[in-house]
Each structure stands twice: as structure tokens, then as C-alpha cells.
Amino acid sequence: MVVSRFWRVVMPEQHRPVLLAVDDDDHVLRAVRRDLSHAYQQRYRVLASRSPAEAVRLLDTLLDRRAEVALILSDQRMPGMTGIEFLAAAAERFPTARRVLLTAYADTSVAISAINEVRLDHYLVKPWEPPEERLYPVLDELLADWESGYEPPYQGIRLVGHRFAPATHRLRDLLTRHRLPFRFEEGTGGEADLPVVALPDGRSLVRPGHAEVVEALGLSSRLSHPHYDVAIVGGGPSGLAASVYASSEGLATLLIEAYVPGGQAGTSSRIENYLGFPSGISGVDLTSRAVTQARRFGVDVLAPVEAERLSRAGRACVLHLSDGKEITAATVLLSTGLSYRSLDAAGAGRFEGAGIYYGATLTETESCVGRPVWIVGGANSAGQAALHFAKHAGHVTMVVRAASLSHGMSAYLVDEIQADPAITVMTNTHLVGAEGSERLERIVLRDGATGALRTHEAEHLFVFIGARPRTEWLDDMVRRDERGFVLTGPDLGPAAELPAWDLPRQPLLLETSVPGVFAAGDARAGSVKRLASSVGEGAMAVSMIHRYHSES
């Protein structure tokens, strides 16, 4: 017996290829269906029909539903249409289906002629008992041959939309950041109908928000505590590190993230200078491991949910969230990180998500294969993105305002970029304009020395031009510097001058102007904007939270 590679694959019944038996004799039809079901029902959907006319209508229905027919068995002597005539009609609808004629001994000469006339694959003389000897070996061979050229229908998530539409880009990025395999299909509908996320269970989400997608895919967490020991706002490296340490040490911990846990580090194409990864690691891989680790220790993760306001209720902190929830916690850690600054070039806002992207958005790598890519910025994140896209794009051009890359980039990245023939660096250059119709088509650059303007064709532009802290939602609740970074510890000055301070001590090193509210990572004033230092601050914040709890 031929063993098919599909013996191990059990597909949902509605997606299985069809085996169709046609015979006007009820006794024979029941026997055929019984034997087919016994051997093949886990891989195929077995259907039967008592007349060729009915069977033709059934094939038309299967064709309309885009089903696959693998094999058809038909009796030769049937009223209204012979088996050979029916198989010829079936071949017009499903030309790859294997065709088998059931004949009496007296019709074997007709069957032999049909092999040439209608490309009959085989004929079987009735009766075929025992099937293990006279039926299954024949069908196994035919089905194995059919399966060798069969591509099973895709059963995963499908995203249908316009490749250069901002709403589609955001959903592609969301699924990629969650490490969810999906198939992107270019849509034909209008903006009101796209994008659509088609789920494996048959549901379709039309122009869904991020929260709706996360909920539908079962990725959202439920609150397991009425009150938390620590609520962490921001799921970047510092927030993830703090959540792991806090929960592993017995604190009831909640992590709140406005988008996808990982922060800017999660968008990095390659991190090569983080301790313990000599060959480097992508930001998605590193942060997804951290999320898995946090969940294993019992951290509740709410995402995508934004913190909109922070207040106090006695000693407790209250976080007011965008989904209407109010979370109380004994302590809060602010690790909101940074968001990329927007280009101030003329027309740039029109093309965000339609040719202009902030961060390394690995989602767009496939679109850039063999195409020119432009990168604006001269810090480490821009250098890492340039090296990543150089492996896929036709060419990468970096637009840098400074006089040299070494002004803001680590030496190892500068050396790698200078040694890569697929990367060109334009220093002392400013991007001042973006042009196009529905998507980015051109950019305008200004020479910083001469002021001369030059226009270049551009379809893919990635921006890394600095960032600002995500702290606007705090209003005046905690003290911040003039740029919005959260002040902590000694930078706050004397405790007596802090309106909300009511403890007989100075604020701890990472404590804000509000007792029990801490800050760590890039949003904290004076922090070192590096991955390792963010992770370290997250861990250090937990030790200070423990101290605060011991004093309370």
C-alpha cells in the first residue's frame, strides 16, 4: 500500500479534498461509500450521488465553493448519461481529479477504449471484494499521484488590504510584532471595505482596531487580581524586565502596553551589542522571549490598552485606561519609553504608512526586496536598519544630517556600514520634502553645505530621527523636565518642595515626585538610552518597590 504524506494531516472537514462516488444502484453506492470512508475519511470528504445529472450539479457547487476534487468513481451503465460521458463532463470542471470507471466484466473493452478517449486513469471490475486487495492499492496509487501536485488550502490568518494603505500597514505590523504567521493578499475593494482580517475559524474582521484583533485571536489577558502590588505602564525592555523580576519575587504584577510589548527594541531588525548574544538577535525575538518569561511567572499583560490618567486614592495609585477600566495598585512603574519624532518635511504626513515608516518595521521587508530603500537618521537604530535592509533591498541610502556617521553611531556599526557596498551614506543632508499621489514616489533633499535641492525617486523611506518621551498623559501628576522626561531621585530636589510628598525621607533613586510611583528606562530623565541600561533600571526599580512596600 502506498503511504501518503497526508496520512499525518487531519484537516477540517470543510477544507478536505473530495472523493466522489456515482452509481444508480443503491446497494453498490452504499458499498463504495462505506469502503471509501473506512480508508480515507480522515483525509478526504467522501460524497456520493445516485445519478450523473445530480453529480454534475454537485461538482458545479464544489467548483463555486472553490473546493478540490481528488478522485471520482463512476459506474458505466447509468440512465441519462454513461459513466464515460459523466467523467468527461467532470474533467471539464476538475481536470486534475483522478477518474475511475466501475464496470461489469462485459464492459471492460469500453473501459479500455475510454482510457484514451477521456483520459481515464483506471477502471475497476465489480465486485471489488476484498477492497484491501482490489480497491485500496489502486486508489492509494492514484491519490498519491494527485497529492504530489496538490497544495492544501492555506488555513491560517489572512490579511486582505492595499499594500500601501496606512491601515493595512498597521495591521501587518501588529501581526508581525506578535509573531503570528499570516498571508497578505492584495485587495480589490475600496477603502471602506479594507483591510479585512480573515481568521481560521471563518470569521472576518472588517477594518478592525488593534484591540479587536488581539481579542479575536485570544491574545488578550484577563485581570486575575482585584488590586496589584505593582502596575507597570509600558512594555519595553525596562517594563518587561521589571515585570519578570517583580512577579518572580511574589508581587502581583500587571503590565500595561499601548501597542505590542517590546517597545522600540521590538522594532529593531538586529541587536548585536546586547550581552549574551554574540551573533545578535532581532528585537522581536528578544522581546517575545521576555513576554513569554513574564507570562510564565504569572504577569497579567494588558495590550493594546493605553493608560490615560494617573490619580491617587489614599496610598493606592489608580490608573485610568482607554478601555474604561480603572486599575488600583500599591505602586506604579512608569516605563513608557519613547516614540519616534515625526518628519518635518513638507508633505511627509500624507505618506505615513504609505511609503514612510517610523522604525525598522520588519513587516515591509518583503515589499523592499530588490527595491531601493532610503533611511533617514544617523544613530544606532538607523545603522541596524540599514544593515538589515541591505540584505534584501536593491540598494540602501542613508540620509544623515551630521557630518559623519561616527557623530552618533557605535563604531562597530560604522565599520560594517562602510564595508557594505549595498549602502550609500549621504552626510550633511536634510530631507525637506515628500511627494506622490496615493503613496510616496519622490523625496526632496537639501545639501547642508550649499543649500542645493535635489529630487530622488523613493518608494520606501524609514525614519529614525530621535524620539520624545510618552509622558503627555501624566499631565502635572508627576514632575517632568522641559522635554517631558520624568524626573526621579536627586533630580527632584528637596522633598519638602514636592507638593505630593508626604514621607519622612527623600525620594529613592528611581522614585518620582509621587511616593510609590517609579520611573525606569528611556522615559526617565538622565537615563542612558541603551537596551542593557533599560533592562538594568527595570530590575533595579523592583528592589526599590520592595523597599517602598516594606516601609508602608
Helix (H, G, I), strand (E, B) or coil at 204: strand
Report which of 71, 92, 96 is spatially closest to residue 20, judged by C-alpha positions.
Answer: 71
Around 199, how many Cα atoms within 13 Å sit in the side-chain half-sphere?
14
Query: Cα–Cα distance between 435 and 452 in angstroms, integer?
Result: 18
Q: Where in the chain is the domain with CATH 3.50.50.60?
A: 228-338+471-551, 348-465
Q: 47 - beta bridge partners?
A: 20
How far, in Å, CA of 75 to CA of 28, rounded? 9
What confidence score (pLDDT) does residue 409 get? 93
The answer, yes or no, to whether the previous bond of 130 is cis (omega within 30 of 0) is yes
Query: Given this model, what pLDDT does residue 12 score?
Result: 56
Q: In terms of CATH, what superfamily is 13-148?
A: Response regulator (3.40.50.2300)
pLDDT score recorded for residue 118:
67
CATH 3.40.50.2300: which residues of the chain? 13-148
Other residues' Cβ atoms within 10 Å of the Cβ of residue 475: 10
Distance between CA atoms of 268 and 424, rounded to whole angstroms?
20
> Residue 96: which of 123, 121, 124 has the closest Cα?
121
Question: Over 90: is that where the pLDDT of 177 sits?
Answer: no
* Alpha helix (H) residue ranges in 441-530: none
How many angstroms from the chain centroid is the CA of residue 346? Answer: 31
Q: Could you tell me if 375 and 386 are in contact, meaning their C-beta atoms sit under 8 angstroms apart? A: yes
Chain length of the chain: 552
Most confident of 274-278, 287-291, 433-437: 433-437
Whether 5 shows a pLDDT value over 50: the answer reads: no
Amino acid 273: pLDDT: 82
The pLDDT of residue 357 is 92
Q: Provide the pLDDT for residue 94.
A: 95
The answer, yes or no, to whether residue 225 has pLDDT greater than 80, is yes
**pLDDT given at position 116:** 67
Amino acid type, 506? Q
Place of cell 495609585: 317
Phi/psi for 514 (5° steps) reads -115, 125
The model's pLDDT over 125-154, given as tens digits with 9 standing for 90+, comes to 888 889 999 899 999 999 999 988 887 767
Rounded average pLDDT over 401-427? 95
The DSSP result for 422-460, as a single string, is TEEEE-SEEEEEEEESSSEEEEEEEETTT--EEEEE-SE
Across all residues in the chain, what is the average pLDDT? 90
Strand partners, 519: 334
Alpha helices for 397-500 (secondary structure H): 411-419
Q: What is the pLDDT of residue 107?
A: 65
228-338+471-551 under CATH 3.40.50.300, yes or no: no
- CA-nearest of 69, 120, 73, 114 to 96 is 69
Which helix or strand (DSSP H or E) is residue 147 part of?
helix 136-148
Residue 361: per-residue pLDDT: 65
pTM above 0.95, yes or no: no
Q: How confident is the model at residue 281 (pLDDT cuts 50, 70, 90)?
A: confident
For residue 544, count other CB atoms closer than 10 A to its CB.
20
pLDDT at 85 over 50: yes
The span from the CA of 400 to the CA of 128, in Å, is 78
- Predicted pLDDT at 219: 84
Residue intervals in the chain for CATH 3.40.30.10: 157-216
Q: Select from 470, 462, 515 the least CA-distant residue to 492.
A: 515
The Cα–Cα gap between 364 and 374 comes to: 13
Task: Tell me how far apart the alpha carbons of residues 419 and 378 are, in angstroms, rounded to a whole number.
Answer: 16
Q: How large is the greatest C-alpha to C-alpha distance in the chain, in angstroms?
A: 109
CB-side neighbour CA atoms (13 Å) of 197: 26
Output the pLDDT for position 9.
42
- CATH class, 348-465 region: alpha beta
Place of cell 500624507: 350
Q: Per-residue pLDDT for 166 more than 70?
A: yes
Q: Which of 72, 59, 139, 137 is nearest to 99 (CA)?
A: 72
**In this structure, CATH architecture of domain 157-216:** 3-Layer(aba) Sandwich (3.40)
Q: Are strands 440-447 and 429-436 parallel, antiparallel or unpaired?
A: antiparallel
Answer with the residue of higher pLDDT: 307 or 10.
307
Separation CA 410–CA 207 (nearest Å): 41
* Helix, strand, or coil (residue 16): coil
Residue in 359, 432, 426 with CA at minimum distance from that of residue 397: 426
Reported as a single tens digit per residue, the pLDDT across 443-492 is 999 999 999 999 999 999 999 998 899 999 999 999 999 999 999 999 99
1 has a pLDDT exceeding 60: no
With cut-offs at 50, 70 and 90, classify the pLDDT of residue 106. Answer: low
Please state which of the ranges 147-151, 159-163, 456-460, 516-520 shows the lowest mean pLDDT.
147-151
DSSP per residue, 288-357: HHHHHHHHHTT-EEETT--EEEEEEETTEEEEEETTS-EEEEEEEEE---EEEPPP-SBTGGGGBTTTEE
Query: Cα dist. 383→133, 364, 401, 405, 418 in Å?
Result: 66, 17, 14, 9, 11
Q: Grid coordinates 483522478 are at which residue? A: 98
79 C-beta neighbours (distance < 10 Å), count: 9
CB 39 within 8 A of CB 72: no
Collapsing DSSP to helix, strand or coil, 126 comes out as: coil
**Stretch 338-357: mean pLDDT:** 92
pLDDT in tens, 180-192: 889 999 888 777 7
